[in-house]
Amino acid sequence: MKLDLKQHIKEMISAPGLSGYEAPIREIIRAAWQPLADEIRVNNLGSLQAIKRGEGTQPRPSVMIAAHMDAIGLMVTGIDDGFLRFMQVGGVDPRILPGQMVTVHATNSDVARDLPAMVVMPPAALLPKDGKSGPLPQKYLLVDTGLLPDEVKKLVRVGDVISFATEPMELCSDTISGHTLDNRASVAAVTVALEMLSKRKHLWDVMAVATSQEEVGAIGAQADAFAIKPDFAIVIDVTFAKAPGGAGIGNFEMGKVTPLTWGSCNHPALHKAMLETAEEYEINVAKDLAPTGSGTDAWSVQVAEAGIPVVELGIPLRYMHTPVEVVSLKDVRRAGRLMAEFIANLPLDFMKTVIWE
Amino acid sequence: MAKTEVSTKFNPRLGKKELDLLTRLCNAVSVSGDEQEVRAIVLEELRDFADFTKVDAMGNVLVRREGTGKDRVRVMIAAHMDEVGFMIVKDEGDGVFEFRVIGGVDPRQLVGKPVIIGRDHVPGVIGAKAIHLTTPEERKQVLKVDQLRIDVGPGGDSKVKVGDRATFATKLAVLGPSIRSKALDDRLGVFNLIQLVKQAPENVDLLAAFTVQEELGLRGAKTAAYGFDPEIGIAMDSTPANDLPHYDGLPNTSHNTRLGDGPAIYIMDRGTIGDQRLIKWLTESAEAEKIPWQFRQPGMGGTDAGEIHKTRAGVPSVSVSVPQRYLHSAAGLIRIEDELNTLKLIHTALKRLDRSILNRQEKSNGKEK
Amino acid sequence: MAKKNNSLWTILQTLVETPGPSGSEHVIREKIKAEIQGHADEIYTDALGNLIARKGVLKEGGKRIMISAHIDEIGLMVTHVDDNGFARFMPIGGINPMTCLGGRVLFMNGTQGVIGMERLEKDEHPTLMKYFIDTGATSKEDSKIGVGDVCGFERPFLDLGKRLVAKSMDDRVAATIAMEALKEVKPGANELYFVFSVQEEVGLRGAITAAYGVDPELGLAVDVTRTGDTPLGVKMEVALGNGPAIKVRDSSFIADPRVVNWMVAEAKAQKLPYQMEVLEAGGTDGAAMQRTRAGVPAGCLSIPCRYIHSPSEMVDRDDVENSVKLLVGLLGKPVSLG
């Protein structure tokens, strides 16, 4: 069965799965990965681990591919006359919140319900001094479900999570826009890699992991790395594309290049090996400079257990952590292909080459 | 010309057919100055119900629905077809466009929103710099319109051109007892006016004005009222419901209107002091039919009545609005019961309308008290 | 029953009146150890000073559960003593400068003192640098304290009837609840590790090593949480007297939703009052347990407490009793996280 990448991504970014509450997205990824893996399991903190065994002789080395599946969003902190107060889960610029369509995952009644709602700005007259002008601090914003106050009290409880509800949109040149493309786009790249590997011979065991709780401190990946104890890890996450309003150091054109992270989080020998694979297969890559670390799962995987060598690659993305992130499907496919070629070409004694100068 | 029978009972509901019409109206792109999409829906909907239809020089749709009774009052009801939105003003290449806002949109509502552009509804987004790349100082500044861009994706789309209008991409949704949509201001009025034309009481000549450019200063209503030369003017619009809780639990003294309290009858806004005879006519009609209603708190803002009442030798005018939260943002929110009660109130009032109400004030001025 | 409750309040009073800032938990630890002696199958102290009491042995259908209540408190450490005997200090844990002026302190060596402040400029908000401790010493030589000496705030325990006030209710009220649960609970198939953890106020350090050592299958912190029930206070739904709070998240971790639901179900089954808690500022040992080894489902039972990190922290008597009941109920049955 050929993977419909666009549909796969649309389905994933339409599914809820905030940090710590990944169950809905986990089941969607499980359905996609199950046919491509020998074994699937869920770790203690909710990450999904798909094991695809290699053909090498035992003891077989293993590589972990980590792509976080959790989403940023909001959480209910209080109920005030039918309106919900909230705080953020993960990093959200409060300036993007007013007028956003959201879904409240309400759990106070016996049957959990998804309530369509929106983030609203109360009029200045109803706010203290620092709410009179300028961007509204998040503490003053409310969520309106359109329901009557009694109904809201019945359905919603403090601690319920709130997802962004922006619908996926297809933009020009094979790009797609929506919320949570950070990092479901990378999960899709892992699916691409697994699909390619299912038709290829590879010696190494591959542990593909859709990690939990990256957005609140790379917590899931740390537990996965501890449990799996891979010989090395590939971390894939989105990075900053060239975009109106501001881009990162790399200023990567969308649809053109796969950034490879270069900084303290990656093992230089692994970085070099992946560059060589890219060259061999004519895959366009560029250095994504992360002077102090990339703020991804790589940060915690690297220091798990007795230390795990990490190589990191990215998918350029516009407007990170807004509900209108944009990625190019070309970049997703290319990143998947690079990972697959890299893994398929790993010799059993590859780790002998992963050494410090 | 096929006219539908007027039922004696008028009990408006929002069934599938009605909701479908409202959805089409709200999801249309009809920004002030280019109201074509809504105009086409109005003309199509009323083709079989009008005694006279005209698109005037401004683009207003003027529909006359004549009654059959004697000494019918000529009542003009206005609802504006335009909405706030954007215009593409500069093509920066590679799918990135500079834009300006048309109408009063708080720039804080723009960031991070999907939009649709032009007659083809080409999708785009108004992005924002990633939070990771902003400084705490930056996050204290409101992003202004000229710092923002509409992005349709790298490479761009030949269907998007400078001068095109755009709106938020929000689609209408029913949220329990409420409706969430963009452009409820004033597609609800347009929807209600369509329903009124279809089921107009026979005792009046209904002069339905579907106006343009209200958001730019009631410009369509001015010519529409001149053209119709009515005896009474009513603006059906949408007004803010600022009925949110005070952060520190203090009483909310500036709610303007409240959701669920019924149609909002205007006493005074920035442009109009409502005709007291008409206000009384409306409130008495509501009380007689046990329709909930509320006064909109006197204040700023305005409706097409601001132009209608000053037309020619003057037209007694009043405004009635459906209370709405969050006007001029990606989506507003209304209660369905307020919408239906508004329609019911106007219909009821029209049925009770008798030219004599316009004399009542003179009587009370001297002799009766 | 009445006698048991008296002893609960007596223990609480003893614990809150014992000094024990982070890193100086030796006195408080010994008091707790003496009190729980005979109620556990095994009691030991680990390398960082955590007091760990095991009750029960893991059997089929049971779980190894770590319960963590920290026994350290916020305090001050002397950084300099000047020629006139005035001592400058740094904070141990989160000290709010606004609660310092006029405070009384008790050093681990028994020395007492008061906190004074330099003059302020107009509209100046004092930082900790503006304060000093006056132990009554007339000179540096006369001072009974020196660089590195540690003190806690000193306030007597106040019984206000339904409400109780003391310094270090954070987290001695939780330690008291854990001790009471340890005494009452019948572990069944569960293997319970009651950890009286150290150095929580400086970054959950005790719980980090205790969690690695215990290697639990489920982690439950017991700690205090803030309330939003005071005039024009912070916005928070938790209120004193509305029952134990079940943590959904704080700024250190997101509680495992399965653990949250487990706790809610038990509170409902016992018909105990309870409230859901989202704490926007503050961390707990739950985070340390969640992140240990290959990850552990973790949650936190919180006791609503007003004026946290001031010398007058207030809790509600019923909340304390209901917390004991909830904890005993949770730990005495097989746990299914679904």
Domain hosting residue A289, numbered range: 5-71+179-353
Co-location of A149 and A293 in the same domain: no
- Residue A245's pLDDT is 81
Same domain? C221 vs C293: yes
Q: Given a cut of 80, is residue B140 above it in pLDDT?
A: yes
User: B245, A122: Cβ pair inside 8 Å?
Assistant: yes
Q: Whose CA is closest to C61, among C216, C190, C219, C187? A: C190
Question: Does C297 touch chain A if contact means CB atoms closer than 8 Å?
Answer: yes
User: Does C82 contact chain A (CB < 8 Å)?
Assistant: no
In angstroms, the CA C267 to CA C265 distance is 6
CB-based contact, B254 to chain A, within 8 Å: yes
**pLDDT score at A258:** 98
Mean pLDDT of A177-206: 97
Asked if the structure places residue A174 within a domain, the reply is no
Domain check: are A118 and A216 in the same one? no
Residues A207 and A295 occupy one common structural domain: yes
Q: Which residue of C has its CA nearest to A21?
A: C257
- Based on the fold, state whether residues C114 and C147 are members of the same structural domain: yes
Give pLDDT tens digits for A57-114.
989 999 999 999 999 999 999 999 999 999 999 999 999 999 999 999 999 999 999 9
Task: With respect to residue A291, please indicate whether it lies within any of the assigned structural domains.
Answer: yes
For residues C312 and C199, membership in a common domain is answered with yes
Same domain, C107 and C54: no
Same domain, residue pair C13 and C36: yes
**Mean pLDDT over residues A324-341, rounded?**
98
Are residues C205 and C257 both part of a single domain? Answer: yes
Same domain, A233 and A336: yes
How many C-beta atoms lie closer than 10 Å to residue A9's C-beta?
24
Mutate to test the interface with A, among B151, B300, B325, B329 (most CBs of A within 10 A): B151
pLDDT at B367 > cutoff 50: no
Residues B327/B331/B333/B334 CA torsion (nearest 10 deg): 80
> Between residues 68 and 97 of chain B, which touch chain A (CB distance below 8 Å)?
92, 95-96
| A173 in any annotated domain | no
Handedness of CA C38, C39, C40, C46 (dihedral sign): negative
Mutate to test the interface with C, among A107, A158, A224 (most CBs of C within 10 A): A158
* Nearest CB partner across the interface for A159, out of C228, C256, C276: C276
- Give Cβ neighbours of residue A90 (< 8 Å, ≥ 6 apart): A18, A19, A70, A71, A72, A73, A215, A216, A321
Strands (E), B113-260: 113-117, 122-126, 150-151, 165-168, 173-175, 178-181, 204-211, 232-240
Question: Where do the domains of chain B lie?
Answer: 16-83+182-362, 85-168
Q: What is the pLDDT of residue A246?
A: 74
* pLDDT computed for residue B365 by the predictor: 44
CB atoms within 10 A of CB B141: 13
Domain CATH code at residue C112: 2.40.30.40
**Same domain membership, residue C94 and residue C225:** no
Report the percent of chain A where pLDDT is more than 70.
100
**Which of A242-246, C108-112, C189-193, C207-211 has the lowest average pLDDT?**
A242-246
| Residue where a domain terminates, one of C129, C153, C177 | C153
| CB spacing of B326 vs A173 below 8 angstroms | no
Task: Look at chain A and report how many structural domains it folds into.
Answer: 2
Residue B363 has pLDDT above 90, yes or no: no
- Res. A2 pLDDT band, cuts 50 70 90: confident
pLDDT attached to residue B9? 66
Assign B360 a pLDDT band (cuts: 50, 70, 90).
low
B133: pLDDT strictly greater than 70: yes
Q: Is residue B369 scored above 70 in pLDDT?
A: no
A333 and A192 Cβ atoms separated by less than 8 Å: yes
Residues C146, C265 within the same domain: no
Q: pLDDT-derived band of residue C17, with 50, 70 and 90 as boundaries?
A: very high
CATH code, domain with A311: 3.40.630.10
When CB atoms are compared, the residue of A21, A159, A227 closest to C278 is: A159
What's the pLDDT band for A293 if we cut at 50, 70, 90?
A: confident
Give the pLDDT of residue C271: 98
Q: Classify residue A104: in a domain, yes or no.
A: yes
Please tell me whether residues C69 and C85 are part of one structural domain: no
Looking at residue B183, what is its pLDDT?
Answer: 97
pLDDT computed for residue B11 by the predictor: 85
Domain end marker among A130, A164, A198: A164
Average of pLDDT values for C280-293?
Answer: 96
Confirm whether C285 is domain-assigned. yes
Shared-domain flag, residues A67 and A77: no
CA dist list (Å): B264 to B79, B232, B235, B292, B333: 15, 18, 12, 10, 15
Q: Write down which residue in A97, A130, A164 finishes a domain.
A: A164
CB-CB neighbors (< 8 A) of C236 in chain A:
77-78
Position C269 in a domain = yes
Instruction: For residue A280, tell me if it sits in a domain.
Output: yes
Average pLDDT on B129-144 reads 91
Could you tell me what percent of chain B has a pLDDT over 90?
A: 88
C125, C153, C181: which is the final residue of a domain? C153
Domain boundary among C122, C153, C184: C153
pLDDT level of residue B361 (50, 70, 90 thresholds): low
User: Based on the domain organization, do C94 and C66 belong to the same domain?
Assistant: no
Average per-residue pLDDT for chain B: 93
Residues A334 and A218 grouped into a single domain: yes
**CB burial of residue B270 (10 Å; 0-12, 13-18, 19+):** exposed
Q: Does the distance separating the beta carbons of A85 and C293 come in below 8 Å?
A: no
As a whole number, the mean pLDDT across chain A is 96
- Do A342 and A223 share a domain, yes or no? yes
Task: Check CB contact under 8 Å for A158 and C295.
Answer: no
Q: Which domain holds residue C46?
A: 2-73+167-331
pLDDT score of B219 more than 70: yes
Return the amino acid letter for A104.
Answer: V
Note the ipTM here: 0.92
Task: Give the residue-averaged pLDDT of B20-37.
Answer: 97
The answer to the question of residue C162 being in a domain is no
Q: Is residue A170 in a domain?
A: no
> pLDDT band for position C292 (50/70/90)?
very high
Look at residue A172 and tell me if it is in a domain.
no
pLDDT at position C44 over 70: yes
Count Cβ atoms within 10 A of the Cβ of residue C102 and give its class: 0-12 exposed, 13-18 middle, 19 or more buried. Answer: exposed
Of B360 and A18, the structure prediction assigns the larger pLDDT to: A18
**C145 inside domain:** yes
B85-168: what CATH class? Answer: mainly beta
Number of domains in chain C: 2
| CA A308 vs CA A56, A231, A336: distances in Å | 21, 7, 22
Residues C286, A45 contacting (CB under 8 angstroms) = no
Answer yes or no: do A78 and A122 share one domain.
yes
Q: In this predicted structure, what is the pLDDT of residue A249? A: 83
Chain C closest-CA separation from residue A204 CA (Å): 22
Just give the CATH number of B16-83+182-362: 3.40.630.10
Mark which of A139, A164, A189 sits at the end of a domain.
A164
Same-domain status, A305 and A211: yes
CATH for A130 = 2.40.30.40
The answer to whether residues C238 and C197 belong to one domain is: yes
Do the chains contact at B244 and A142, CB–CB below 8 Å? yes
* A311 vs A266: CA distance, rounded Å: 5
pLDDT of residue B156: 84
Q: Let me know whether C233 and C303 are in one domain.
A: yes
The answer as to whether C127 is a domain residue is yes
Q: In Å, how far is A77's CA from the nearest CA of chain C? A: 6
Instruction: Determine, yes or no, domain membership for C160.
Output: no
pLDDT of residue A250: 83
Question: For the domain that residue C266 is a member of, what is the CATH number?
Answer: 3.40.630.10
pLDDT at B151 over 70: yes
> Minimal Cα–Cα distance from A68 to chain C, Å?
16
Q: Does C290 contact A at CB distance below 8 Å?
A: yes
pLDDT single digits (tens) B159-176: 999 999 999 999 999 999
Whether residues A198 and A159 share a domain: the answer is no
Which of C63, C236, C254 to probe the A interface (max A CBs under 10 A)?
A: C254
In a domain, C231, yes or no: yes
Q: Which residues of B are catalytic?
A: 214
Is C161 within the bounds of a domain? Answer: no
Let me know if residue A171 belongs to a domain: no
Helix (H) or strand (E) holding C196: strand C191-197
